[in-house]
Structure 1
Amino acid sequence: MEKLISSDLYCPFSSQINKNIDFLEEYSLEWVLGFNLLANESSYQRFCKSKFFLMAATTYPYCNFQELKIANDWLSWLFIWDDQCDLSELKTKPESLKAIHKRFLEILNGAEVTSHDIPLSHALSNLRERMLEKASVKWLNYFLCGFAKYLYGCFEEANNRVYGIVPDTDTYITMRRLSAGADVALPLIEFCDQLIIPDFLRKRDIFKQLNEITNNLLGWSNDIFSLSRELATGHVHNLVFVLHYQHKIPLEEAMNRAIEMHDCEIKKLIYLEANIPSFGEEIDADFAKYILGIHAWIRGNLDWYSFTARYKTVEMLELAKY
């Protein structure tokens, strides 16, 4: 299936990279090893070849080193948990996931970690502490709403696996917005670049639409690049596979449709940006920086696929002790 993987996705945004990338590469293992998030040699090798530090440096290119480290650690955490949800026994245990997710949210809302908590929970407590050194509780609560959506997406995928459900295309697109993790990644633009997005702007349709389109782009591009691995592991939560299954078309045709959908979504984003009204000088300035952050995420995400080996091999993970 290697020939089905295509990097020919339309993206008019230029590549950026954070000036602190060399320092980040040196740091990238420090946090995950400090919290014992890589349980064995297989996990360690998988993490190293994934090069998440490159994703962080290209998707948050404008921020200072301390904020960049927090973004990097969040991406590392998300991918490590994503692997547990997709490649371990947890992938067919939605109720177990629900219980773990409940504890994750408790800790991010301020609960004390104990000796009974798993390493991933201790790592979340550390992230909360570091974020609150630089952000308000109000912003953190907004961020946590996005994190809760991501966890719910992981639960829904596990639930579908148990019952053998392949969602229809519209249902899948809605589900993918949850599990893609963009509801975590995009608020981190505000955090990293020290932006102030007022509540009234968050509630405006144009802000919601920008985020939704970006979410689609990040999820669908991941589906395109990860198709071979997901077919090999029987993973049905993939846009290309859903199009193939629902429309009874060859995988190559489904891949072309997914690419077309991605490219149309980019054009929708550009059109939407051209029609953003003014909200006042200060708000416009921060909103413009936020949009630059969106562009960096879309471009940097695509660039990362050129360097990561994450989707080139198929591995099953041992279930961590939860």
Structure 2
Amino acid sequence: MKQLLYLDLYCPFTSQINKHVDILEEYALEWVLRFNLLADESTYKRFCKSKFFFLAASAYPYSNIEELKIAHDWLSWVFIWDDQCDLSELKKQPEIIKLFHQRFLEILNGAEPTSQDTLFSHALADLRQRTLQRASIKWFKYFISYLEDYFCGCVQEATNRAKGIVPDVDTYIMIRRSSVGVYAVLALAEFCNQFMIPDVLRNHYLVKKLELITTDIIAWSNDIFSASREIASGDVHNLIFVLHYHNQISLEEATKQVIEIHDQEVRSLLVLESFLPSFGEELDVDIAKYISSMHSWIRGNLDWYSHSSRYQNSERLELK
């Protein structure tokens, strides 16, 4: 079924892999072990099977190795924290998650971690320091705002679980656009490729629409591949389950609908790209890099599913 879905999804973008992928694979465990983020055998096995190094190398194919290592560690941090929010006792405790997130944001804004802080906070402080050695504070503030949006999505999901709510389709789409974290990983593409989108482009309505469609494409592909695990674990935050529940259709029919939605979004992205005006020679180079980054993430994310075993189990995690 996994391979069938992989072949069924429409993606006209070329597969690429960073030339440093082998170095990154050798490095992959170094940082997470240094900060003890894989503190038990279950978490360790999940991390190894997930192969985030392949995702980073596919999503950032032109990155230098040092930026690529940092991007990989950001992805690792987010995915490991995401599992805490989805699979540990935190999953139904939105107020506690909020407290964690408040501290994370303090760390990201420069607060020094103390002995009272969690492993996640100490790891974040290191990521902040390493990232700011290679990025501007202006870009990093944008990045923090995107992480804050992701944090809000995690809290909204936990709130729904605590209240036993299955969100309606429109509400779920809004939550998913935050919890999927795509804005943050697209910002990392700027970091990896050593450029920054000027504000005139970042705030342009067509660029914002391109980002939104890219977010939806990645969200729906993720929902397709993670549906079995999430439904088995009782999590309702998946477009396939939401359509199944509210429209009273079979899971098979809901899956077909989400595949169709995904494919239409890809086509919409291509159409919208064709309507982009010229912003001038210099800005056109920037927007071309950014759109290429979107394509790399869409293709790289899809390729990752055929290499990763991340969504093939549903075990419960202990809170770290």
Q: What TM-score, normalized to structure 1?
A: 0.97
Give the equivalent residue in structure 2 for 1:206: 206
Give the equivalent residue in structure 2 for 1:169: 169
Give the equivalent residue in structure 1 for 2:221: 221
Q: After superposition, what is the alpha-carbon deviation per residue over 1:112-170, rounded to whole angstroms, capped at 9, x for unaligned? A: 11111111111111111111111111111111110000000000000000111111111
Give 1:3 deviation, angstroms: 7.5
- Partners of 1:4 and 1:271 in 2: CA distance: 28
SS of residue paired to 1:11? coil
Q: Work out whether residues 195 and 290 of structure 1, in 8 Å CA contact, stay in contact via their aligned partners in 2.
A: no
- Partners of 1:261 and 1:286 in 2: CA distance: 29
Instruction: Compute the RMSD of aligned alpha carbons.
Output: 1.1
Give 1:313 deviation, angstroms: 1.7
Give the equivalent residue in structure 2 for 1:235: 235
Sequence identity percentage: 61
What amino acid does structure 1 have at the position aligned with 2:5?
S
Give 1:84 deviation, angstroms: 0.3
Give the equivalent residue in structure 2 for 1:42: 42
**Residue 80 (1) aligns with residue 80 (2):** yes
**Residue 122 (1) aligns with residue 122 (2):** yes
Give 1:196 deviation, angstroms: 2.5
Q: Work out whether residues 28 and 53 of structure 2, in 8 Å CA contact, stay in contact via their aligned partners in 1.
A: yes
Give the equivalent residue in structure 2 for 1:310: 310
Give the equivalent residue in structure 2 for 1:69: 69
Instruction: Within 5 Å, give how 1:102-121 maps onto structure 2.
Output: 102-121=102-121
Q: After superposition, what is the alpha-carbon deviation per residue over 1:38-93, rounded to whole angstroms, capped at 9, x for unaligned? A: 11111111110110000000000011001100110011001100100000000000
SS of residue paired to 1:6? helix
- Partners of 2:311 and 2:197 in 1: CA distance: 35
Q: Work out whether residues 5 and 225 of structure 1, in 8 Å CA contact, stay in contact via their aligned partners in 2.
A: no
Q: Work out whether residues 186 and 294 of structure 1, in 8 Å CA contact, stay in contact via their aligned partners in 2.
A: yes
What amino acid does structure 1 have at the position aligned with 2:250?
P
Q: Work out whether residues 5 and 228 of structure 1, in 8 Å CA contact, stay in contact via their aligned partners in 2.
A: no
Instruction: Within 5 Å, give how 1:121-270 maps onto structure 2.
Output: 121-270=121-270
Give the equivalent residue in structure 2 for 1:6: 5
- Partners of 2:186 and 2:4 in 1: CA distance: 26
Give 1:5 deviation, angstroms: 7.2
**Residue 29 (1) aligns with residue 29 (2):** yes
SS of residue paired to 1:39? coil
- Partners of 1:281 and 1:4 in 2: CA distance: 42
Q: Work out whether residues 201 and 287 of structure 2, in 8 Å CA contact, stay in contact via their aligned partners in 1.
A: no
SS of residue paired to 1:186? helix
- Partners of 2:195 and 2:239 in 1: CA distance: 33
Unaligned runs of 5+ in 1: none
What amino acid does structure 2 have at the position aligned with 1:68?
L
Aligned length: 319
- Partners of 1:35 and 1:169 in 2: CA distance: 38
